[in-house]
Amino acid sequence: MSNMNEAKSLYDRLGGIYGIAGAVDDLVDRLYTNENANKNPAVRHFHEQGGEAGFKFLVTAWSVQETGGPKIYPGRDMRESHAHLKVDHDEFDNVYTAIKQTLFQVGVPKQERDEFMAIIESYRSMVVAPENQAA
């Protein structure tokens, strides 16, 4: 029998794979139509090629793994997967805000939102292109 006092992982507190997948489904739909995100020609090109279902899978798997769930993310590391996009701080902030708004709108409590957003922020230096780091 497990100890009820054991701290649950963020993964569990977000509702496990179903809770995370639901939030990601909403988030990716927002990002694909986000005018600010699509100002970046490389991001717009990625979005125009379709592939939302695959992208949703990768974001879900990454989120599951980063929040303490099973190690299931099959994608590249964040630096490699974002290098060609030449993301700047404003673009990172735009996606950061979209993630935070999505978590709020799907009913994620503040503590869990804050914990997840700290994970996202910890990846800023890997997502923002080296030439855009000074800000």
Burial of residue 135, with CB atoms counted within 10 A of its CB: 0-12 exposed, 13-18 middle, 19 or more buried: exposed
Would you say domain 14-132 falls under CATH 3.40.640.10? no
| Encoded tokens for 58 | 């990768």
pLDDT at 3 over 80: no
Predicted TM-score of the model (pTM):
0.90
Model pLDDT for residues 74-106, shown as the tens digit of each residue: 999 999 999 999 999 999 999 999 999 999 999
Domain ranges of the chain: 14-132
Model pLDDT for residues 36-69, shown as the tens digit of each residue: 989 999 999 999 998 999 999 999 999 999 999 9
Q: Do 96 and 121 form a contact (C-beta atoms < 8 A)?
A: yes
Is 45 among the annotated ligand-binding positions? Answer: no
